[in-house]
Chain A
Amino acid sequence: MKKQKRINLAISYVILTLASIIILYPMLWVVGTSFNPGRTITSTIIPANPTFIHYKNLFDLTISDYSLWYVNTLKIAFITMALSVVLVTITGYVFSRYRFVGRKNSLVLFLVLQMVPQFVAIIAIYVLLNMLNLLDTHTALILLYAGGAIPMNTYLAKGYFDTIPKELDEAARMDGAGHLRIFWQIILPLAKPIVATIALFNFMGPFNDFILASLVLRSPEKQTLAVGLYNMISKQFDNNFTLFAAGAVLSALPIVILFFMFQRYFVSGLTAGGTKG
């Protein structure tokens, strides 16, 4: 039995090491490429004569708009995140705690809406923004992201709020707390995991989005990282792979750090809001 266990563990180490290599390889490759002189792809992970020139070039506006994309993306992602967290926690709270006419119908509507991705309506969105003169603005993009996030995230938030005992609200109400104060001082502090989850989702959503950003934003200096980096390597000729690699590394780093910082929260938020049990 013991021997069997040791063999199992040995096999596990082999598999896990192999899996780790498969995960790490592309990342090390892109880091290596970013230090490589020239413009094309090489297959070596450790470049022979490493250079920082691509990182410098990224922030040279005569060579690349990268720094603008970075600022745009962060701006859009942060505002979307803040707006979504406020809207979604409030709607989730209302759906979890209040019984009102139209509640069930709204929940069914949200359920249907969260399944159909917003961007199937790209033509409609384009025409609408055109009518409202909102094409090529970050405002439009932020509103689209925040609006599109409402149905699904409301369900997440509501699911989590449902697990917080209602007796807490009632006790607070007895003590004379108003509707908003109960939400603000009782519920929200207990719901940190789901707030972190929603914040992360709504930061990553805009950060990762390609389709709406490429539809709404027209001028090069207003673009986001996803669109900008894509354009760097999707041309038929003259692709700058090393510059792209440097850009990819710099874009991924803060997200990875953020991810590991919040990981503890959103794992529990996700499982509590979504699973049954």
Chain B
Amino acid sequence: MAAIANPKSPDQRPDKPTNHARNAGLLSIIPGLGQLYNKQYAKAVAFFIVVVSYFAVNYDLFFKGAGAGPGDRGGLWGLITLGEVPGPRNDHSIFLMVEGIVALILLFFGIAFYVWNIRDAYRVGRARDQHLNLPSFQMQLRNLRDHGFPYLMLIPSLILLVFTVILPLIFTFLIAFTNYRYNNAPPAKLVEWVGFENFTRIFEIDIFRDTFVGVLGWTLVWTVASTTGVIAIGIFLAVLLNQEGLRFRRLFRSILILSWAVPAFITILIFRSMFNESFGVFNTTILPALGLDPVNWMTDPTATRTALVLIQWWLGFPFIMTLMTGVLQSIPGDLYEAATIDGATIFDKFRLITLPMLLFATAPILITQFTFNFNNFNIIYLFNGGGPAVPGQTAGGTDILISWIYKLSLGANPQYGLAAAITLILSFFIMTLAVIQFRRTKSFKDEDMI
């Protein structure tokens, strides 16, 4: 509460230095007492009620258990021990863990409010030490409205975000350090903390290591191949469409953009039928017409991979094309004129002017394209379910990390702990990219952080 007020006139100033700041701060260890000391009665009551009722309401959740099992001693206890007595009427490790995370999140906000209470008392006390006029009650209310406005507006989004994104993510990360899997699942059994066992298993057990290496390799190849192809085709077509004197420009653009307009899942399913090995249009019509033999699109990993990359090119380029068209129109024409005078060919101009301008202006979005394909679950799963199956692996021949995680979590004999560990590894990859990307975007640069 930044209270701005005029200093009192000098003759009213007492001689003795006061210690209101320290006293008020210490007193607010019991919330509200510091404010009472500062003679802000309404505020004192408000603080007291908020903090006390907060901890009273959540006491059960924190320390006593919200009623999961008879031995339940609260969210924090549950989070640490994950339960002591297994069984349907006793401790359910996973529920206990969720309860514990909720307790932690609530505790975080509670402590934040508590700290704010102490700081507020301390600041007001300091203002009194310096003999500043304290803001009136009305002023405080107005201050609260102005300073509270952003928080008030953020509350709905924040609550939704906590429960649909943050809580599940924390939960997943915690599962990575447990032995939670299908044949070791509550209520019949207790889940235990196992430290880094899941991570070492990925690298020590042959079948997991081979699968992990294989899947990671293909994920990277897939990401790079599909994304660079999309970008190259997008730029190429944008440049073609932007030529002077080209007719039917709007018609061409509208047709080419169609593959963006049609929902991707529909197109992927259409391609799934077209690539069908026995009666799909590629094997029955197109390849024979070109004098080629039919290809085992769905059972040969290399063929499936090729098909996937081609489909992603088909799906992805209009976005880049549209983006680049916008940038192309903003490149000043005199650059090209000057280059022409210097005797540059079209290719020189493209390589030395157009391409650098395009890539520079859109770098952040291009990086998003890489992360998008890195996590492009839909195309992998809808096209061929990550298949064909590969002997000696728990993932199919075209599974990328994200679809492998899906299979490990929801397939036969789910390995939740292992899937969560891979999720952690994957998140690490993406976050590295994220930092690179956002150091470059404008909306982040203005913030002068990182």
A residues sitting closer than 8 Å to B (CB atoms) are 5, 8-9, 12, 15-16, 19-20, 22-24, 26-27, 29-30, 33, 40-43, 87-88, 90-91, 93-94, 98, 100, 103-104, 106-108, 111-125, 127-128, 131, 143-144, 146-148, 150-151, 154-155, 158-159, 162, 179, 204, 207-208, 210-211, 215, 226, 229-230, 233-234, 241, 244-245, 248, 251-252, 255-256, 259-260, 263, 267-268, 270-271, 273-277
B143 at the interface (CB under 8 A from A): no
Residues on A with C-beta less than 8 A from B272 are: 233-234
Residues on B with C-beta less than 8 A from A127 are: 94-95, 98, 171
Verify A29–B264 contact, CB threshold 8 A.
Answer: no
Q: How far is the CA of A127 from the CA of B186 in the complex (A)?
A: 12
Q: How far is the CA of A244 from the CA of B276 in the complex (A)?
A: 14
Query: With A16-B240, A26-B267 in contact, do A147 and B160 touch (Cβ < 8 Å)?
Result: yes
Verify A211–B377 contact, CB threshold 8 A.
Answer: yes
Tally of contacts, chain A with chain B, CB under 8 A: 264
Q: A-facing mask of B158-197, CB < 8 A → 1, else 0?
A: 0011011111110110010000000000000000000000
Verify A267–B322 contact, CB threshold 8 A.
Answer: yes
Query: With A104-B449, A208-B265 in contact, do A115 and B284 touch (Cβ < 8 Å)?
Result: no
B6 at the interface (CB under 8 A from A): no
Verify B267–A120 contact, CB threshold 8 A.
Answer: no
Residues on B with C-beta less than 8 A from A112 are: 431, 434
B258 at the interface (CB under 8 A from A): yes
The contact of B269 among A90, A103, A117, A244, by CB within 8 Å, is A244
B89 at the interface (CB under 8 A from A): no
Q: A230-B269, A260-B254, A263-B257 are in contact. List 10 more A-B contacts (CB 8 A).
A: A15-B240, A30-B270, A87-B160, A124-B169, A146-B160, A207-B263, A210-B382, A234-B272, A275-B361, A276-B442
Verify B263–A115 contact, CB threshold 8 A.
Answer: no
B147 at the interface (CB under 8 A from A): yes
Residue tally, chain B, CB below 8 Å to A = 103
Verify A120–B405 contact, CB threshold 8 A.
Answer: yes
Verify A229–B281 contact, CB threshold 8 A.
Answer: no
Residues on B with C-beta less than 8 A from A154 are: 157
B44 at the interface (CB under 8 A from A): no
Query: With A208-B263, A248-B270 in contact, do A22 and B314 touch (Cβ < 8 Å)?
Result: yes
Verify A119–B377 contact, CB threshold 8 A.
Answer: yes
Residues on B with C-beta less than 8 A from A24 are: 255, 258
Residues on B with C-beta less than 8 A from A108 are: 449-450
Binds A, one of B120-128, B201-209, B217-225, B422-430: B422-430
Restricting to B361-389, which residues have a CB under 8 Å from any CB of A?
361-365, 368, 371, 375, 377-378, 381-382, 385
Binds A, one of B32-40, B49-57, B241-249: B241-249
Verify A276–B363 contact, CB threshold 8 A.
Answer: yes
Verify A8–B281 contact, CB threshold 8 A.
Answer: no
The contact of A12 among B240, B265, B362, by CB within 8 Å, is B240
> Could you tell me the distance in whole angstroms from the C-beta of A74 to the nearest C-beta in chain B?
13
The contact of B261 among A122, A131, A207, A256, by CB within 8 Å, is A256
B256 at the interface (CB under 8 A from A): yes
The contact of A94 among B153, B171, B254, B261, by CB within 8 Å, is B153
Q: How far is the CA of A104 from the CA of B447 in the complex (A)?
A: 8
> Could you tell me the distance in whole angstroms from the C-beta of B105 to the nearest C-beta in chain A?
13
B410 at the interface (CB under 8 A from A): yes
Verify A41–B279 contact, CB threshold 8 A.
Answer: yes
> Could you tell me the distance in whole angstroms from the C-beta of B279 to the nearest C-beta in chain A?
5
Verify A270–B346 contact, CB threshold 8 A.
Answer: no
Verify B165–A151 contact, CB threshold 8 A.
Answer: yes
Q: How far is the CA of A29 from the CA of B262 in the complex (A)?
A: 14
The contact of A248 among B150, B163, B269, B449, by CB within 8 Å, is B269
Restricting to B223-239, which residues have a CB under 8 Å from any CB of A?
237
Verify A120–B172 contact, CB threshold 8 A.
Answer: yes
Most buried by A among B263, B371, B414: B263
Verify B263–A150 contact, CB threshold 8 A.
Answer: no
Q: How far is the CA of A112 from the CA of B256 in the complex (A)?
A: 34
> Could you tell me the distance in whole angstroms from the C-beta of A25 to the nearest C-beta in chain B?
9
> Could you tell me the distance in whole angstroms from the C-beta of A54 to the nearest C-beta in chain B?
14
Verify A158–B443 contact, CB threshold 8 A.
Answer: yes
Nearest to A274 among chain B residues (CB) is: B365
B21 at the interface (CB under 8 A from A): no
Query: With A12-B243, A23-B259, A256-B261 in contact, do A123 and B416 touch (Cβ < 8 Å)?
Result: yes
B266 at the interface (CB under 8 A from A): yes
Q: How far is the CA of A119 from the CA of B168 in the complex (A)?
A: 9
Query: With A123-B420, A151-B165 in contact, do A274 and B441 touch (Cβ < 8 Å)?
Result: yes
Verify A128–B167 contact, CB threshold 8 A.
Answer: yes
Q: How far is the CA of A128 from the CA of B166 in the complex (A)?
A: 12
Nearest to B362 among chain A residues (CB) is: A275
Verify A124–B168 contact, CB threshold 8 A.
Answer: yes
> Could you tell me the distance in whole angstroms from the C-beta of B185 to the nearest C-beta in chain A?
10
Verify A120–B402 contact, CB threshold 8 A.
Answer: yes
Residues on B with C-beta less than 8 A from A100 are: 147, 150-151
Verify B258–A23 contact, CB threshold 8 A.
Answer: yes
The contact of B273 among A90, A91, A215, A241, by CB within 8 Å, is A241
